[in-house]
Amino acid sequence: MGVSGSGKTAVGKAVAERMGFEFSDADDFHSAANKAKMGSGQPLDENDRRPWLAAMAEAILSWDQMEKGHVLACSGLKKIHRELLRDGLGESRLKFFYLRVDREELMRRLSERKGHYMKANMLDSQLLAFETPQAMEAYDIDNNGSMQDAIEAIVKILSAS
| 81-91 pLDDT per residue, tens | 999 998 877 66
User: 120 vs 21, which has greater pLDDT?
Assistant: 21
| Span 44-73, pLDDT tens digits | 888 998 999 999 999 998 998 887 899 999
User: In the chain, where are the structural domains located?
Assistant: 8-160
CA 120 to chain centre: 17
Model confidence band, residue 120 (pLDDT cutoffs 50, 70, 90): low
CATH for the stretch 8-160: 3.40.50.300
**Is the per-residue pLDDT at 30 higher than 80?**
yes
Q: How does 105-134 read in b/e, with b if 16+ C-beta sit within 10 Å?
A: ebeebbeeeeeebbebebbebbeebbeebe
Helices (H), the chain: 8-19, 32-39, 46-66, 79-86, 103-112, 123-129, 147-160
Torsion of CA 21, 72, 56, 7, to 10 degrees: -160
Which whole number is the average pLDDT over 88-117?
A: 82
Distance CA 160, CA 102 (A): 28
User: 88 vs 133, which has greater pLDDT?
Assistant: 133
**Is the per-residue pLDDT at 121 higher than 60?**
yes
CA 161 to chain centre: 20
pLDDT at 126: 85
Which whole number is the average pLDDT over 128-135?
A: 89
DSSP state for residue 27 in the 8-state scheme: G
**Whether pTM exceeds 0.95:** no
Mean pLDDT value across the chain: 89
Contact in structure between 81 and 49 (CB atoms under 8 Å): yes
Model confidence band, residue 136 (pLDDT cutoffs 50, 70, 90): confident
